[in-house]
Amino acid sequence: MAEIKQIKEDNFQKEVIEANLPVLVDFWAEWCNPCLKMKPLIKQISEEFEGKIKVCELNVDQNPGKAANYGIRSIPTIFFFKNGEVVSQVVGVVGKKEILKHMVKLIG
């Protein structure tokens, strides 16, 4: 079963920027209903692409500095990183088809 890694400001560099795999980072908060709506899809993506990408979550309430660094103004926001760089992003509730369009940029 694929793991969704909980990341924080203190391990973001290691887990995302220095990761050996492309990384999907879900910026979310516990009180955010749209974020909770996206959770099953994020879990499904993590399972389907296990070994090809790393899937992480960052709680914006607990890590406001990192959310500010990336200009997060609305959640859910998903960033796609490859080789430590942001390749693309998605804001709001989207379907699997939209996520998969961005996944192509990560893994070809």
Looking at per-residue pLDDT, the higher value among 2 and 54 belongs to 54
> Crossing angle, helix 96-107 and helix 33-48, to 10 degrees?
50
Q: Which domains, ranges and CATH numbers included, belong to the chain?
A: 4-107 (3.40.30.10)
From 21, 32, 91, 94, the catalytic residue: 32
Q: b/e for 26-50, b at 16 or more Cβ within 10 A? A: bbbeeebeebeebeebbeebbeebe
Rounded mean pLDDT of 19-40?
96
Residue 56: active-site member: no
Of the residues 35, 42, 45, 99, which is catalytic?
Answer: 35
Confidence class for position 7, pLDDT limits 50, 70, 90: very high
104 — pLDDT class (breaks 50, 70, 90): confident
The C-alpha atoms of residue 72 and residue 25 are separated, in whole angstroms, by 12
What pTM, to 2 d.p., does this model score? 0.95
